[in-house]
Amino acid sequence: MKPFTAPLDDILFTLTHVAGADSTPDWDAEMAREIGAHFAAFAEGEIAPLDEPGDRQGCRLENGRVRMPDGFGAVYKAYAEQGWPGLTAPEDHGGQGMGALMLAITSEIFSGANHSLQMVTGLVPGAIRVLTRFGTNEQQARHIPGLASGNTLATMCLTEPGAGSDLSRIRCRAVQDGTTWQISGEKIFISGGDQDMSEEILHLVLARTSDNGVKGLSLFLCPSTKADGTRNSVTVTRIEEKMGLHASPTCQLAFDGAEAELIGAEGQGLHAMFTMMNHARADVALQGVAHAARAYDVASHYAAERQQGRKPDGSPATLADHADVQRILTEIDTRAMGGRAICHLAFVAMDRGDAPDLVDFLTPVAKVACTEAGMRAAELGMQVLGGYGYLSEYRLEQTYRDARITAIYEGANGIHERMLATRLLTGAPGAAFDAFLQGEDHAGLLPLWQRARAYLQKAADPTPLAHDVMALTIHTLLAALYARIAKAADHHPDPTRIRQLAEEGIRTARSFAPAHAARLGL
């Protein structure tokens, strides 16, 4: 198996030279490289080696508690001791106060090294953001230090048996009891709902405080240990069996009058939860990029070494000498770099804070584009390895299995497509994206995209158009970003590779965007 290598040069290239990280107030390129290199060494040396054994062993439920695979507790301890959980937490609560762009670097590397472990630890920055935005000073002082030190891990509890994409169907109920609240009901599919790595778990729970649809939902902080030091009434009733991510416990949780505190205003739970979900969505987009980059790493190394067939001069050829294998490898590489550029563009816009409408527009686009890229790249990578791709030896089948969920959780991709078509494209976010594209080299695709937008504005029901509109949007955005990538190629250690993938990306966008426009009837 090819050991995991963090794609640090590629990450720093798009962040700095494509997405414009230096336009953000706190960007320090040298510090970013130094922190990225530290995390890369940790991920390569300690986190990634647990990926395969974790997948094989999986999590188990013993006496009502989740046991993580061997070695996960020790690596989490080292992760916490090195200060990674508090990277972007406020300094006055024990964090290091770094900008969110640092997370674009570490999250992608973490997911590439070990998606399962990243899932269980990755909700901490989102929880801190919710506390910073909606918590009282007292709540922040009580909860952030534990999250920043690694003593506490966070969960996000939305899904119920009857409430998946449609959160208005949530039935979990919260009842006020003096100064505290009590939550009762069932949540399913909760990532890291229990584990034995952190001392504490802080569940962020969306629960019903009135029967007024989504306006009756409020957000609660529900710690695993109550104020009096006893265990809170949150129990794991089972761990789900699933296709991949075997080292990430997906838990069914029963809340039985669990003690909780309200965060933010009553009835504003969905609004508060969106802060966490938007963070998680950006993270899931990076998971897709990480899988695509890993697929390229494994497949390109294998193709360079395996001898099959002959070159035109009759000498022995490697797989990489064959045009069709080159085509596949270039597609994987192109998808990884293009997806990463979309994510980084969104992260930079988020960090600058001066274009919230553009961020609203880019978040679902990044989620869909990058998760599709991750799945497709994993599948193509397996093709490059032939029969060995299907076997477990080179682990691409694990990448394939782990990547599959990214298009489903954090809002199924179809839901993001619908949101783009019904709310974002025709309103202020769509106008912000239009304005952004006008300053870009969009390979002539902008007029096509504008026609689609105008067409959608007139449609009585835009939902049947949603998939093709998203695809057209992704191709148009990618055309602009590959143009930026091509322009910046000389800043990368391997400019030839970068120019090649940018050309391929622009060619693909130019060919497929009109096909999706045609499907819309344009």
3-class state of residue 219 by DSSP: strand
d(CA 119, CA 132): 22
Calculate the alpha carbon distances from 125 to 192, 275, 312, 331, 347 in Å. Answer: 15, 11, 54, 32, 14
Looking up tokens 């682990």 gives 395
User: Binder to ligand FAD among 195, 250, 300, 371 (CB under 6 A)?
Assistant: 250
Q: Quick check: 94 binds ligand FAD (CB under 6 A)?
A: no
Least CB distance from residue 405 to ligand FAD, whole Å? 5
**Cβ nearer to ligand FAD, comparing 242 with 497:** 242
Least CB distance from residue 413 to ligand FAD, whole Å? 7
* Residue with nearest beta carbon to ligand FAD: 164
Q: Quick check: 165 binds ligand FAD (CB under 6 A)?
A: yes
**Cβ nearer to ligand FAD, comparing 234 with 445:** 234
User: Binder to ligand FAD among 128, 158, 359, 465 (CB under 6 A)?
Assistant: 158
The DSSP code for 224 is: S
Q: Quick check: 189 binds ligand FAD (CB under 6 A)?
A: yes
Q: Which residues contact 446 (CB under 8 A, 6 or more apart)?
A: 434, 437, 438, 476
d(CA 334, CA 337): 5
Q: Quick check: 253 binds ligand FAD (CB under 6 A)?
A: no
Mark residues 454-483: x for contact with ligand FAD by CB under 6 A, - for none: ------------------------------
- Identify residues 223-242 at the interface with ligand FAD (CB under 6 A): 242
**Cβ nearer to ligand FAD, comparing 414 with 514:** 414
Q: Quick check: 415 binds ligand FAD (CB under 6 A)?
A: yes
**Cβ nearer to ligand FAD, comparing 405 with 485:** 405
Tokens representing residue 42 in the block: 């940790």
Least CB distance from residue 251 to ligand FAD, whole Å? 9
Spatial contact of 82 and 42, defined as CB atoms under 8 Å apart: yes
Q: Quick check: 423 binds ligand FAD (CB under 6 A)?
A: no
Closest CA to 191 of 164, 161, 224, 153: 153
Q: Quick check: 111 binds ligand FAD (CB under 6 A)?
A: no
d(CA 423, CA 364): 12
Tokens representing residue 108 in the block: 């992608």
For residue 217, the cross-strand partners are 208
Mode of pairing for the β-strands spanning 316-318 and 307-310? antiparallel
3-class state of residue 222 by DSSP: strand
The DSSP code for 314 is: S
Q: Which stretch binds ligand FAD (CB under 6 A): 13-21, 100-108, 170-178, 183-191?
A: 183-191
HSE (CB half, 13 Å, CA atoms) of 505? 32
What's CA 446's distance to the chain center, in Å? 27
Q: Quick check: 408 binds ligand FAD (CB under 6 A)?
A: yes
Least CB distance from residue 69 to ligand FAD, whole Å? 16
Q: Quick check: 191 binds ligand FAD (CB under 6 A)?
A: yes
Closest CA to 394 of 292, 294, 286, 290: 294
**Cβ nearer to ligand FAD, comparing 136 with 165:** 165
User: Binder to ligand FAD among 418, 442, 492, 516 (CB under 6 A)?
Assistant: 418
Pick the catalytic residue: 108, 331, 372, 410?
410
- To the query of whether residue 410 is one of the catalytic residues in this protein, the response is yes
Q: Quick check: 245 binds ligand FAD (CB under 6 A)?
A: yes
d(CA 520, CA 452): 8
Q: Quick check: 405 binds ligand FAD (CB under 6 A)?
A: yes
**Residues near ligand FAD (CB under 6 A):** 156-159, 164-165, 189-191, 242, 245, 250, 405, 408-409, 412, 414-415, 418
Catalytic annotation, residues: 410
